[in-house]
């Protein structure tokens, strides 16, 4: 498409209007075969030339004309009025967390200045622009009691941690990670609640000469790896625990009290285990959907509205209020940016579902049809 340089606002408006019409024609042609049971928020990047062109138009319209988002899956709905809200704009989550030291001291990481925060058991703990970094300052810890730190992200928070062994962990909102300041010689074990993405460093034990396993303990499950990248979604308000492997190999086990192994499966890259009760299954999945949150996206693939609502509640620190007789059985697919203002995100949902969202007091959102 030939670049256009509007000379004034009238020319710009006419140019964007024409661009919007062309995007609509292109996108409707792409999606006219879509199921009536699924709406697209924003098309996935399948055909780069067409979709990138459409995305550019969406961004331009959003910045210049009040965040109007383009309808891709349900052309009959049209553009709805703005989301109703009575308070100041609710912004997305940010990098914030609480670090709980072995002494019990708590440090609000989003309020602390960059630099050294503490030194415990021969470990220097530093806050940097990259996140929280643990560095071994002294290895003379023989005979010392094992000390633990815990990092907790609130609703509306996320944080990156570089552990003493060099492994990197990205914590999603409303999550916690407990880990020792010094890992044992036989294994490296941490405990997770919520969601995290792990990039585990492969380490060979100085004592045995074999690779030292890295184990993530969860409620009723553990994940054992040697050096790999994977995502775990283990929120208490989700029905299942999902472990998604990006690269390497992991063993996912059901555990009994005392971390005794009950049942074990092995994941290959591109596979996801799902734990529900005492049943664990494995399936090939779209890895991007599971790890998109780490890269600032919400990726949806035929996802029900209730699941989307829980994601929004955690990331924006809000609470949805649904009528007692509320029912919405259709699913949604596409992408949403995690840096959108809440009102813009809700507008995209309104346009694609026909529902209406009202932001009321105390960060509560009412849903009406």
Give the pLDDT of residue 29.
41
Give the pLDDT of residue 322.
86
Establish if 1 belongs to a structural domain.
no
Domain count, the chain: 2
Cα(237)–Cα(177) distance, rounded to whole angstroms? 17
Domain boundary among 290, 319, 339: 290
Domain boundary among 235, 257, 290: 290
Q: Which residues of 3-34 are buried (b: 16+ CB within 10 A; e: fewer)?
A: eeeeeeeeebeeebeebbeebbebbeebbeee
Establish if 3 belongs to a structural domain.
no
Extract the tokens encoding 165.
């062994």
Cα(280)–Cα(263) distance, rounded to whole angstroms? 8
Give the pLDDT of residue 59.
31
| 140 and 172 co-located in one domain | yes
Cα(337)–Cα(293) distance, rounded to whole angstroms? 9
Output the DSSP codes for 20-84: HHHHHHHHHHHHTTS-TTEEESS--SSSHHHHHHHHHHHHHHHHHTT-PPPPSS-TTS-PPPPPE
The alpha carbon of 141 is separated from its chain's Cα centroid by a whole number of angstroms, namely 36
| 102 and 187 co-located in one domain | yes
Establish if 156 belongs to a structural domain.
yes
Per-residue pLDDT of 165-205, as tens digits, reads: 999 999 999 999 999 999 988 899 999 999 999 999 999 87
| 221 and 150 co-located in one domain | yes
Establish if 63 belongs to a structural domain.
yes
| 107 and 183 co-located in one domain | yes
Residue 347: which residues within 8 A CB-CB, separation 6 or more?
Answer: 67, 68, 69, 80, 82, 83
| 57 and 110 co-located in one domain | no
Asked if pLDDT for residue 80 goes beyond 80, the answer is: no
Coil, helix or strand at residue 123: strand
| 233 and 183 co-located in one domain | yes
| 115 and 150 co-located in one domain | yes
> For residue 150, what are the domain limits?
94-290
Average pLDDT, the chain: 79
Per-residue pLDDT of 273-295, as tens digits, reads: 999 988 999 999 999 999 999 99
Per-residue pLDDT of 202-258, as tens digits, reads: 998 777 778 999 999 998 899 999 889 999 999 999 999 999 999 999 999 987 666
Asked if pLDDT for residue 67 goes beyond 50, the answer is: no
Residue 17: which residues within 8 A CB-CB, separation 6 or more?
Answer: none
Establish if 191 belongs to a structural domain.
yes
Establish if 2 belongs to a structural domain.
no
| 130 and 267 co-located in one domain | yes
Pick from 25-39, 79-93, 168-182 the range whose average pLDDT is largest: 168-182
18-23 contacts, C-beta under 8 A, 24 or more apart: 19/57, 19/60, 20/57, 20/61, 20/70, 23/53, 23/54, 23/57, 23/58, 23/70
Cα(278)–Cα(220) distance, rounded to whole angstroms? 9
| 257 and 225 co-located in one domain | yes
Please compute the mean of the pLDDT values over residues 131-143 and round it to a whole number.
Answer: 78
Asked if pLDDT for residue 74 goes beyond 50, the answer is: no
Dihedral of CA 275/179/150/125: which sign?
negative
| 83 and 178 co-located in one domain | no
222 vs 262, more confident = 222
Alpha helices in the chain (DSSP H): 9-31, 48-64, 287-291, 305-316, 342-353
The pTM is what?
Answer: 0.79
Exposed / middle / buried, residue 70 (Cβ in 10 Å: 0-12, 13-18, 19+): buried
Q: Distances in Å between the alpha carbon of 203 and those of 145, 198, 226?
A: 23, 15, 8
Establish if 153 belongs to a structural domain.
yes
| 47 and 183 co-located in one domain | no
| 219 and 305 co-located in one domain | no
- CATH at residue 142: 2.60.120.1440
Establish if 57 belongs to a structural domain.
yes
Domain boundary among 229, 261, 290: 290
């Amino acid at each position: 498409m030939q670049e256009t340089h509007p000379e004034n606002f009238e020319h710009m408006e006419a140019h964007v209007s024409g661009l919007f019409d062309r995007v609509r024609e292109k996108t409707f042609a792409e999606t006219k075969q879509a199921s009536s049971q699924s709406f697209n928020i924003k098309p996935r990047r399948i055909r780069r030339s067409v979709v990138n062109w459409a995305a550019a138009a969406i961004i331009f319209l959003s910045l210049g004309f009040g965040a109007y988002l383009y309808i891709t899956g349900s052309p009959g709905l049209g553009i709805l009025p703005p989301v109703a809200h009575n308070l100041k704009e609710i912004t997305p989550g940010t990098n914030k967390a609480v670090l709980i030291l072995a002494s019990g001291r708590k440090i609000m990481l989003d309020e602390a200045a960059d630099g050294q925060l503490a030194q415990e058991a021969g470990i220097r703990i530093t806050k940097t622009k990259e996140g929280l970094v643990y560095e071994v300052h002294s290895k003379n810890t023989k005979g010392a009691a094992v000390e633990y730190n815990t990092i907790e992200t609130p609703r509306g928070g996320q944080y990156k941690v570089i552990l003493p062994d060099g492994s990197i962990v990205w914590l999603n909102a409303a999550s916690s990670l407990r880990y020792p300041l010094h890992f044992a010689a036989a294994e490296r074990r941490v405990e997770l609640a919520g969601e995290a993405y792990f990039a585990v460093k492969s380490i060979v034990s100085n004592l045995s000469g074999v690779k030292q396993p890295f184990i993530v303990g969860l409620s009723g499950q553990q994940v054992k790896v040697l050096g790999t990248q994977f995502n775990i979604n283990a929120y208490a308000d989700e029905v299942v625990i999902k472990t998604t492997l990006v690269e390497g190999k992991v063993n996912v086990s059901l555990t009994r009290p005392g971390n005794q192994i009950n049942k074990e499966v092995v994941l290959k890259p591109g596979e996801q285990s799902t734990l529900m009760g005492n049943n664990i299954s494995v399936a090939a999945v779209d890895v991007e959907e599971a790890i998109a949150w780490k890269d600032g996206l919400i990726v949806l693939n035929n996802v029900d509205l209730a699941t989307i609502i829980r994601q929004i509640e955690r990331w924006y620190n809000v609470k949805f209020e649904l009528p007692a007789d509320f029912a919405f059985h259709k699913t949604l697919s596409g992408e949403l940016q995690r840096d959108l203002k809440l009102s813009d995100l809700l507008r995209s949902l309104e346009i694609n579902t026909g529902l209406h969202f009202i932001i009321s007091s105390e960060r509560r959102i009412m849903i009406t049809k």
